[in-house]
Amino acid sequence: MFSQEIDKKIKQISLIVLTVGGIAFLIGYFGLHNRVTDVGYRPTQPVPFSHKLHAGDMGVKCMYCHTSVEKSAHSPVPSTSTCMNCHIAIKTDSPKLKMVRDSYENNTPIEWKRIHALPDYVHFDHSRHIRSQIDCASCHGKVETMGVVSQFKPMNMGFCLDCHRNPEANIIPARPISGIFTGIKASAYDSNAKAVLAKVEPMTHPQFGGFMSEVPKQEVEGIPTPKHPGYGPENCSTCHH
């Protein structure tokens, strides 16, 4: 049907197309895939903040800076005023903190670079997980050992489902450094020196990140959720709604 020369060219073109397509697929999968591009992502922040120094050495609890995670769907980036709670008196002349001081004085936020980002069509509720006493390190790693925070887990659907299906192998229970409410009951004594149950208190009484308020039960119209304690739901509407 074709001459020998045309047949040869067709084979060469086909080989080139397949080779280029294969290379493009490998680059696309291994170079752009979620597990490759996100895990280990560690951008340079505008201020050289060290979690190892603050949380690791100084013992500042996660929830002191990332407030409201026990009742908010999102974990907020600490405001400059949070930083200045300490640095208004500590290292007031440090050149590394000039941007922090300027931000505080000018009432302009610091443009921190986001590390953990989920697609807009995914709904993740921090409060639901924090109230279940799931430690921050389960998803973010032990940030108290990180000088510069990097992404520790892929944050894809497979990662979430693995945890929901097999929590024993994936969940790190609440640790003191996180400052997470644990629901441990504190004992007290009445006038007759008899031990009685007092109000529910947090696991620790830290200088930073402690709070004494009770956490509401997770119920939807009187139905405890999730229905199978310890195992997360797997229906689509849990995360996509």
Q: How confident is the model at residue 5 (pLDDT cuts 50, 70, 90)?
A: confident
What's the pLDDT tens digit per position in 106-126?
A: 999 999 999 998 888 899 999
Q: What pLDDT, on the 0 to 100 scale, is given for residue 200?
A: 42
Of 20, 60, 64, whose CA–CA distance to 211 is shortest?
Answer: 64
Rounded to 10 deg, the angle between the 98-106 and 80-87 helix axes is 120
Q: Which DSSP category does 104 fall into?
A: H
Please tell me whether the peptide bond between 226 and the residue prior to it is cis, using omega within 30 degrees of 0.
Answer: yes
Q: How confident is the model at residue 209 (pLDDT cuts 50, 70, 90)?
A: very low
Phi-psi domain of 143 (left: phi exceeds 0; alpha: psi -120 through 50; beta: other) = alpha
Q: What pLDDT, on the 0 to 100 scale, is given for residue 197?
A: 40
* Domain spans, the chain: 4-32
Cα(179)–Cα(203) distance, integer angstroms: 8
36 vs 95: which has the higher pLDDT = 95
What's the whole-number mean pLDDT along residues 182-201? 44
Q: How confident is the model at residue 186 (pLDDT cuts 50, 70, 90)?
A: very low
Q: What pLDDT, on the 0 to 100 scale, is given for residue 37?
A: 63
Cα(31)–Cα(25) distance, integer angstroms: 9
- Name the one residue in this structure whose structure tokens are 């600490």: 78
pLDDT at 189 over 70: no
Q: Is 188 in contact with 196 (CB distance < 8 Å)?
A: yes
pLDDT at 11 over 70: yes
What's the pLDDT tens digit per position in 171-183?
A: 888 888 888 765 4
105 vs 212: which has the higher pLDDT = 105
